Amino acid sequence: MTTTVHWLETPAQQGVTWGVPWPRGTVADGTQFALTDGTAIQSWTTATWPDGSIKWSAHAIGPSEHPVASYDLITGKPAVPAEPVRVEQTGAEVRVTTGAVSWVLSAPMVIASIGIAGREVVRDVRLVSLRQDTPDEDESRVRQRTTATVDTITVEQAGPVRAVVKLDGKHGDWLPFSVRLYFYADATDVRVVHSFVWDGDPDRDFLAGLGLSADVVMRDEPHNRHVRLAGPSGFLNEAVRGLTGLRRDPGAEVRQAQTAGRAVDEIPNAEVADRLGLIPQWNDYTLDQSSADGFTLRKRTGPDHAWVTVPAGTRAPGYGYVGGAGGGLGFGLRDFWKLHPTRLDIRNAATDLATATVWMWSPSAPAMDVRFWHDGMDQDSHAEQLEGLEITYEDYEPGFGNAHGVARTHELTLRVHDSTPTADDLARHTAELDTPGLLTASPSRILAAGVFGTWSLPTSDHLDIESRLHFLFQYYVGQREQRRWYGFWDYGDVMHTYDRDRHTWRYDVGGYAWANSELSPDLWLWYQYLRTGRADVFRFAEAMTRHTGEVDVHHLGRWKGLGSRHNVQHWGCSCKQLRISSAIYRRIYYYLTADERTGDLLDELATAEETFLAVDPLRKVRTDSYSPDPQALSIGLGVDWGALAANWLTRWERYGDERARSRLVGTMADIAVLRNGFLTGNAEFDLSTGRFDTGRRGISVSHLSAVFGLPEICAELIDLDLDVPGFEKAWLDYCRLYLSPPEQQAAEVGAPLEGISLVQAHSRLAAYAAARTGDVELARLAWRAFFVDEGDQLNRNALQRETKWRTTPVTGALMPADEAAFVSTNDASQYALAAIQNLTLIPEHRHNKR
């Protein structure tokens, strides 16, 4: 079958990798892929169906000066590049060749040398950091500079179109990191993905700088050495020894050549040529992005002399160039201003070896401080902590608000040149850094593959609901900008709940601050992208996935594999659960992009069930004597099993992992056997067998069970038809009964269900059961619950009072802003998911709700 893929945004000239889904049983494992226009392509499988056929494939093509608007992907023998990317490993050294450019990787550096056409241009690409021993307020503070050490180099892909090399190491004696280098055939750039894990002592370790440095060989005359730093609408365009603006004119041809980056071979005006030694040479440059609203620029002639300020600006794209007419280096950081505080440095440009540094944490900023945000307020016992939960919604516990194990990923680029690039080329490189090219199949093509459960395409039959879905997304885009939800640790997340009285989000009120995936905003955004194909939705969801998978999850230490519930600080909550780290929130992005770092995060969840030995999620509210037992771990059948099922399914389809398949299918069978199925609430899990004890007879229902991906993963599992008798019935019983009248609940299970809430969110459960069983009354109940329920904020505060959702300007606030005070992230996420699934499952019943 032919699959057309198109650019998410404008066609990109850089190399690109993307994913494509395939209907079950249509493409055999091992099938080759080609592009009909003969473009060289490299392909591999990222997931398979239970029958072994390909479920997701990944593909890569190299850069092109004239990319076409779309490509047709077919099965067949792939074309190979005229000059394939080549990887040669000799001992501890790896040499990568991408046409005219050669890259030598050798520990302890990230890249030891980069050459073009046999001439070395760059050497000693390295990670650098600054460690401070006390907070900034302490005047005795000491900073220690460290060059990170690469310990291992692993070739993950070796061409012919795409090569990937992973490097692992540490920033001295702390901050373990991994760096992936992405090379494409005939490319002059390398994409650098840097991920580090925080493992310091928050009371004595303060990160004062984190950067990537590279030395650039400077062979040209100082007036033929060029510095370029990107601003919002253009570049700082300078030479180390400037020939423009002088009292004596070197001539228009000279001036124009220098500003264009061409070599000035001769200066015809002797009054200038004889006085070159009297023109200052600018040795150092710094662009410092201290906030989302402003950067400063400065330069100096040397370290013993004062800085000269250059006009400042607002939001720098984070791209620069240093070199000469004979070659140089372009360098940059994606989302530069969004991830502030950041910085670009050029040092020693007047010497034989300049240094360019991209700072992911600017040394000009206050040192990074990850100490917990309050003193505990004497909440030493579980009873006292539960009292605190009642007033600030914060689940505090001493020692649990530690950032140990949280991570952050940055995407950088290095591009070598044999001459100073033109302004147009620099502008294109900057744009491609900020929004890297991505190819994607259409929403209809992805839907036809039968992946990701219950969703459908928008239609004109339900414009009122579609307009509200659009409103909610645009509202959060606007709020991110107006409320400045940016910064090193924060960018990608959104706030949890709004404060009507202060006209701001509750950024400082316990558990009402950062959302941390609470009630699945990640899923809302990804399903909205799948159905619309909108680039702006994709980029918003991408940023959230990068954030929530890294910052909101512990990757080392006691809570490895667990995420943190919502809090003023992303890691601050004592509720460490799989409901945040779940693969359900990462897998869509992984399959669409084949991003290896996201694959790492999924790999971390291979044995996530073992985390229940580390911390009992219900320890504060238990009334029994339970303590974690490897043969009898208490696991909730909602948020816990839903996360485990997503983890196991993803592991199985990515690797064919029999252990994961056995635990997934086995626990599905156990839930089917439980007398009350999902209504049992929780069951005891044996780590050695991977099975539940099926003897439990109780009934326990939580309003949270089905709002962290459980409906979505159950729909996928049922679609897979895994031959687990009784599982679908167990799920349908839960879906039917949750919103059923109390008398029906009592008739079927012996008593009315307690804990019923989030009615609108659960309307999609009733819709699912109605669609599977053909129950018209249940379908009517679903739409009634969706539109006119008794308890959900979006309906209570908006739908019953207004025909349209709207924002109103905030008067007298700190910053100009618009508010929709009735919107919270919990409600927005679950409204959107319910809307998408109800429209998919029972659209024909929406106007018959009685």
Q: Is the dihedral of CA 573, 574, 575, 576 positive or negative?
A: positive
Over 70: is that where the pLDDT of 791 sits?
no
Q: Is the dihedral of CA 419, 425, 431, 435 positive or negative?
A: negative
The per-residue pLDDT for 325 is: 86
- pLDDT digits 0-9 by tens, 662-710: 999 999 999 999 999 999 999 999 999 999 999 999 999 999 999 999 9
Half-sphere exposure of residue 564, counting CA atoms within 13 Å on the CB side? 34
Length of the chain: 850
The per-residue pLDDT for 410 is: 98
Over 90: is that where the pLDDT of 257 sits?
yes
Over 70: is that where the pLDDT of 798 sits?
no
Cβ-in-10-Å burial (0-12, 13-18, 19+) of 125 comes to buried
Q: Is the dihedral of CA 506, 508, 513, 514 positive or negative?
A: positive
Mean pLDDT for 353-365 is 98
Distance CA 262, CA 190 (A): 25
Distance CA 215, CA 430 (A): 21
- Per-residue pLDDT band for 571 (boundaries 50, 70, 90) equals very high
What stretches of 93-135 adopt beta strand conformation (E)? 93-98, 101-106, 111-116, 119-132
Distance CA 37, CA 24 (A): 27
Taking CA atoms, 46 is separated from 200, 213, 253, 590, in Å, by 35, 33, 55, 9
Q: Is the dihedral of CA 43, 436, 1, 452 positive or negative?
A: positive
Tokens of 283: 């040795």
Is the Cβ–Cβ distance between 567 and 573 less than 8 Å?
A: yes
The per-residue pLDDT for 224 is: 98
- pLDDT digits 0-9 by tens, 514-524: 999 999 999 99
Over 90: is that where the pLDDT of 794 sits?
no
Asked if the bond preceding 341 is cis, omega within 30° of 0, the reply is yes
- pLDDT digits 0-9 by tens, 18-62: 999 999 999 999 999 999 999 999 999 999 999 999 999 999 999
- Per-residue pLDDT band for 1 (boundaries 50, 70, 90) equals confident
The per-residue pLDDT for 795 is: 61
The torsion of the CA quartet 346, 365, 574, 387, rounded to 10 degrees, works out to: -160
Mean pLDDT for 732-748 is 97
Over 50: is that where the pLDDT of 156 sits?
yes
Over 80: is that where the pLDDT of 186 sits?
yes
pTM for this prediction: 0.97
DSSP class per residue in 812-827: S-SS--EE-TT--HHH
The per-residue pLDDT for 803 is: 54
- Within 10 A of 240 (CB to CB), how many other CB atoms are there? 28
Cβ-in-10-Å burial (0-12, 13-18, 19+) of 218 comes to buried
Over 80: is that where the pLDDT of 802 sits?
no
Over 70: is that where the pLDDT of 602 sits?
yes
The per-residue pLDDT for 799 is: 47
- Per-residue pLDDT band for 813 (boundaries 50, 70, 90) equals confident
Over 80: is that where the pLDDT of 437 sits?
yes
The per-residue pLDDT for 849 is: 54
Q: In what order do the strands lie in the sheet with 33-35?
A: 33-35, 70-75, 3-7, 439-441
Mean pLDDT for 598-625 is 95
What share of residues in the chain are helix, strand, coil (percent, to 5)?
Answer: 30, 25, 45
Q: Which of 496, 221, 488 is nearest to 361 (CA)?
A: 488
- Per-residue pLDDT band for 789 (boundaries 50, 70, 90) equals low
The per-residue pLDDT for 138 is: 87
DSSP designation for 495? B
Mean pLDDT for 351-380 is 98
Distance of alpha carbon 346 from its chain centroid, rounded? 29
Average pLDDT, the chain: 96
What residues form DSSP beta bridges with 42? Answer: 60
Distance CA 257, CA 421 (A): 12
Distance CA 693, CA 673 (A): 10
Is the Cβ–Cβ distance between 537 and 526 less than 8 Å?
A: no
DSSP class per residue in 155-208: EEEE-SSEEEEEEEEEETTEEEEEEEEEEETT-SEEEEEEEEE--S-TTT-EEE
Tokens of 244: 């423009």
Distance CA 727, CA 755 (A): 23
- Per-residue pLDDT band for 801 (boundaries 50, 70, 90) equals very low
Is the Cβ–Cβ distance between 551 and 570 less than 8 Å?
A: yes
Better-predicted residue by pLDDT, 804 or 759? 759
Alpha helices, H only, 374-496: 382-392, 423-434, 443-448, 463-482
Is the Cβ–Cβ distance between 342 and 360 less than 8 Å?
A: yes
What residues form DSSP beta bridges with 355? Answer: 215, 347
SS3 category, 6: strand
